[in-house]
Structure 1
Amino acid sequence: MELKQIQYFIALFEEGTVTRAARRLNIAQPALSMQIAKLETEIRQKLFERGPHGMAPTEAARLMYRLYTPIMRDIDHAREHLSRRDVIVTGRVSLGMVSSEAQSVLPESLARFDALFPQVEVSVADGFSAQLIDAVESGRLDAAIINKPRGRLTLHVEPLIVEEMVLVTSVVHGPELPDEIDLTQQSGIEFVLPTRRNGLRGALDAALMAADVVIKPKFEIDLLSTIVQFVEQSSVATILPRVVVQAKVDEGALRARTIASPPIVRHIIQVTHPKRPIGPAAQALITIITDEIKRVTTGVMGKQAP
């Protein structure tokens, strides 16, 4: 397997058509198709199915994308870092993250960051979005990755990612439900949800209110890890970002169903103080964290929402 083949595969996976992928890579379409065919022969797996709307990735392709995307990004970061090998990045990064992201992708992100910036010290705090906003405003944090609040902020805001939220049940104890859920038609499901202090609940309530759907949870818990364990061991359901539950879904303990109506997403943003711009190390860490979120969610769902 050649590096070029992996680059071609990632381009086709992300672009969805041979035409767009070849244009992105600045190569001829037959050359791209030939390399993908060689790759499929080498790994003995079909990676794409041709459909009316382009090239649809198979499950093998989704797995390959999840495995190789962080490797390719590390290679790009390393190439850039080596091109500036006379400059050693040092210092300290103080970052805040909402718990749902910290628990899901932080260990892998920190490992990747440390390999690229071994001279940089990192401090990460988790909490509710409101707490992290206060910490950035007061200077206790350089930046924070939070759920987008409803009100306006005095901080500098940069959108990072739009995340799908899914309905989650236990594989063993959960109720029988269709693969796609219409919450306007479902009744009789008992829910455990985060409390209203949690930004996730705000995104959920806003989407439900717009669709005139009412969910009265039987349980309200702010510890997302506890919600996940509770759902795994009971018949109750929850609605959480896919990134929070994907590890348990991969293990076969939980089942995540797409919510077709109303679609529910949460917007993840980066906030910094307008008078205290962050340095290259902090920005690199945020980029790696965002990449990890996309790797987990895009590897399952296909192309990430813009």
Structure 2
Amino acid sequence: MNTVRLRYFLTIAEEKSINRAATVLGIAQPALSRQVRMLEKALGVALFHRTRNGVRLTEDGEKLRTALTGPLRQVELALQNIGSPLAQIERDVVFGLPETTAGMLGALLISRMNSVFPNVRMRVVVHDPHRLVDAMLHSEVDIAVIHGPSPDERLFYTELVSEDLALVGGADSGLSPTVPKNFRDLADLPFVFPSARPGVRDIIKNAALRQQIDIKFRFEVDSLQISKNLIETGVAYGILPLSAFADEMRAGRLTYAPIQDPAIIQHLGLAVRPELNLPREFVVQFGRLVGDETVALIENGSWSATLSPDWRPVPHDRPGSRRW
């Protein structure tokens, strides 16, 4: 399959117009239309509905766009880096993830990094947010996804996503995804929270202070799996992003209710430790991989998060910025 045609397809889908896409790509409109027809013929499906105002994706076109967003960028990066100094880097890169995100991104990023940078030995460590920050400042972790905003101005940081936190209970808790709970209703419930700071615990404490209510921190457990097991027994409730208990929810072992008045939102960003001895372009490419995988997970419905409008995989020249 011609990857150039796939890139043409994605550009048209983004611009919603073959004419505008041709301008962006710097090719003639008839030539671009011909490439689209050849792609549709090769796939045996129509990818676009033609309208007076431009084009819109068919159902098959939408499926193709969702499937291509991350993988095509991955192929392009691999082709760009073959024979480049970046592809020849031979060293360990330690990537940190919070426990609530590790299952979502860990294996995907190792696989992607292996194809783009085959000589890099990538190690993934999973810690609570506070320990990740501390490990970065002690040069034990190179790059990490951490809770934002950055708790230390020495780190290069850019926000990646935001995601709603939900009230999580066991199957018999009576919670329903269609019946939101007001934040003030949480005051009567026993909770299990991690002791780590910063993290979800601090987000909840700050919200409780603003609402002038007390939240019962009944149990402190620094293990996501044990926390979920405890919630499943009905002894306690939790407040987690949906991505942290998706498997248990599908199996019917846990359920949840959205939180409102106010909604509780967690921000995650990508951070790079100071004095990282890696080429700047490597860090940029790594950031692009993280961003592309994140976008693909959001668009295919695997991650109920919102990509930050501040996201860009380009580090600034000084730490402490929201963008690195």
- Note whether the superposition's TM-score is higher than 0.5: yes
Superposed counterparts of 1:48-63, under 5 Å: none
Aligned to 1:52: none
Gaps of 5+ in 1: 49-54
- CA deviations on 1:227-252 (whole Å, 9 max, x unpaired) are 23444454854221233233444556
CA RMSD of superposed structures (Å): 4.7
State the distance in 1 between where 2:226 and 2:12 align: 38
Give the superposition deviation at 1:57. 11
Q: Whole-Å Cα distance in 1 between the matches of residues 131 and 222 of structure 2?
A: 14
Deviates more, 1:189-198 or 1:114-123: 189-198
Distance change in 2, residues 1:266/1:77 (3 Å): same
**Distance (Å, rounded) in 2 between the aligned partners of 1:26 and 1:86:** 28
Q: Does structure 1 retain, via aligned residues, the 8 Å contact 2:187–2:215? A: no
Structure-2 separation of matches of 1:250 and 1:24: 44
User: What is the distance in 2 between the residues matched to 1:213 and 1:5?
Assistant: 57
In the alignment, which residue of structure 2 is the partner of 1:159? 158
Trace 1:233-252 onto structure 2 (pairs within 5 A): 234=234, 236-249=236-249
Q: Flag the 1:203–1:2 CA change in 2: closer, same or farther, 3 A.
A: farther
Shift >6 Å, 4+ stretches: 41-44, 55-58
Alignment of 1:255-270 (within 5 A): 255=255, 257-270=257-270
What does residue 206 of structure 1 align with?
206
| 1:296 maps to 2:297 | yes
Determine what percentage of the aligned residue pairs are the same residue: 17
Structure 2 letter corresponding to 1:97: L
Which residue in 2 is equivalent to 1:122? 122
Q: Cα offset for 1:117? A: 1.6
Alignment CA distance shift 1:206-1:123 (3 Å): same
Q: Find the counterpart in structure 2 of residue 69 from structure 1.
A: 69
CA distance in 1, matches of 2:101, 2:150: 19
Q: Is the 8 A contact 1:93 1:282 kept in 2?
A: no
Amino acid in structure 1 at the alignment position of 2:78: A
Maintained 8 Å contact 1:169/1:232: no
Deviation at 1:223, TM superposition (A): 0.9
Distance, in Å, in 1 between the alignment partners of 2:158 and 2:224 is: 23
In 1, Cα distance between equivalents of 2:241 and 2:70 = 21
3-state SS of paired residue (2:307):
coil
How far residue 290 of structure 1 moved from its aligned partner, in angstroms, is: 4.2
Rg larger in structure: 2
* Distance in structure 2 (CA, Å) of the matches to 1:256 and 1:188: 16
1:51 alignment counterpart: none
AA partner of residue 174 (structure 2) = P
1:90 alignment counterpart: 90
Q: How far apart are residue 111 of structure 1 and its match?
A: 1.4
1:71 CA displacement = 1.6
1:110-142 Cα shifts (integer Å, max 9, x gaps)? 112112222111233332333333332232332
For the 8 Å contact 2:87–2:116, the answer to whether it is kept is: no
Paired residue for 2:24?
Answer: 26
Alignment correspondent of 2:142: 142
Report the CA distance shift for 1:201/1:140 in structure 2 as closer, same or farther (over 3 A).
Answer: same
TM score, norm. by length of structure 2: 0.66
User: 1:96 Cα deviation (Å)?
Assistant: 2.8
CA distance in 2, matches of 1:225, 1:24: 50
Deviates more, 1:102-111 or 1:127-136: 127-136
Unaligned runs of 5+ in 2: 50-55, 310-324
Give the structure 1 partner of residue 194 of structure 2: 195
